[in-house]
Amino acid sequence: MSPADLHFIDLNAFGNAPQPDPVWKRCWTGQEPLWKVFWGWFVFGHGTILGCAVGFMVISMVLGFVVSPRTLTAGISGMVAGAVLLMVVTVPYAIWSAVSVWRCAYNCMDRRWGHMVRGIVLLYGTIMLLPLGQALFRQVEKVI
């Protein structure tokens, strides 16, 4: 047997190993453990985003007052800019985290946790959509 007849098979596939999906994709497809998705992304993620957004609102309000200290308009404008940024960041994150928790609900040892977490997600969705429903109802009342 000559060296030309030998073939090497790389069983570990170091050169062509498939890269793992990013964590946001694994959560979205329901491949992560429930505790990581719920506590890490749903609970603490929302807290982090809301804390940063409120901090941005305060900083933008103060900067508005620095730019024009004699009027309230600049400070209110800065606070509104922070609120808009809060909505732009929070809404997609809320959708992603709720869907991720829902899909990963049964990736735990006890299925009761999955039922409980799905109930929390339903309650969370209801609370988030309630103001939208109230605003829509007010518009319908104006038309009638």
Measured CA to CA, the distance from residue 83 to residue 92 in angstroms comes to 15
Indicate whether this model's pTM tops 0.95: no
Contact 118, 105 (CB under 8 A): yes
Q: Which pLDDT score, from 0 to 100, does residue 76 have?
A: 83
**Taking the chain (144 residues) in consecutive chunks of 10 residues, what is each chunk's mean pLDDT?**
64 62 91 94 92 85 81 80 82 93 94 95 91 80 76
User: Would you kindly state where each structural domain of the chain is located, as residue ranges?
Assistant: 29-128
